[in-house]
Amino acid sequence: MLHLLVADGNDRAGRETHLTVCDKTSAETYAGILRALAPEARCHLVAPADADAVLPRALSECDALVLTGSTLHVEEGGPAVTRQCDLVRAALEAGLPVFGSCWGVQVAATIAGGRAARNPRGPEYGLARGIGRTQAGEGHPLLAGRPAAWDAPAIHDDAVIDPPPGSHVLADNDRLDVQAIEIRLGDGVFWGTQYHPELDLDEVAAMLRLSAQGVVEAGLCRDEAALHAYADAFRDLHHDPEGRPDLAWRLGVAAEVLVPERRRREIRNFLDHLVRPAAERQR
């Protein structure tokens, strides 16, 4: 059995806000995906932003750590950020494989000496378009199975602006230089994506609603009514992906986003290429 520690990147207020539009927390979303991809896995959830958080299982007894997205900002610092940085650093120094999307990438890059901040090229809301491998990403197992270019769910203002020394940037697009990255710290390896391979399209819709003001301020939707109509299209496509080709066409969504097995490639690759081999070596 695999034991996977799933850390929710949100503080208590962020988790409560998330639950207003979703029926589960970010950590619960990840745990569901991990159990679907690895039925032999047991997921242990923790909220490390909280001062009273206690690890449900010691790092030495876990096979991997996964860190979710968050509404926090690394550059603002504070105890809720520091506690998460400390957890990821401890996991990597202990030799654990670590995966993170969005916030998880920003935390890992920061503790390894990089910098995360507001993306000067602007946010990505809904989908990150035209992602492609860098030279370092060619043949890298994190991106195994991805085509030459792909889209993926994305909701972020912040991003990794300066990757840490010695890291390998694996994918980028015209909006962001770091869409996927490998970072090594201590004996541990971090793989992560700025985009969200864990999000289903109904969750993309929910996250768009939470970000409505930011989407409008960025000029991506004319007003909040237009944003909600856009989110509705994602929601409806999630519920009927085969019966609504009109929505897929209108949203510009293809199989890399529509098909769950393809959308979640990076998480499966993390399990297959890092977690299971490391667990076997430990046994």
pLDDT in tens, 181-198: 999 999 999 999 999 999
Q: Does residue 161 surpass a pLDDT of 80?
A: yes
Mean pLDDT taken over the chain: 96
Nearest of 188, 207, 17 to residue 102 by alpha carbon = 207
* pTM over the 0.85 mark: yes
Count of Cβ atoms closer than 10 Å to residue 187 Cβ = 10
35-94 pLDDT, tens digit each: 999 999 999 999 999 999 999 999 999 999 999 999 999 999 999 999 999 999 999 999
Nearest alpha carbon to residue 15 among 26, 7, 31, 4: 26
- Other C-beta atoms lying within 10 Å of the C-beta of residue 120: 7
pLDDT per residue over 213-261, tens digit each? 999 999 999 999 999 999 999 999 999 999 999 999 999 999 999 999 9
Q: What is the pLDDT of residue 23?
A: 87
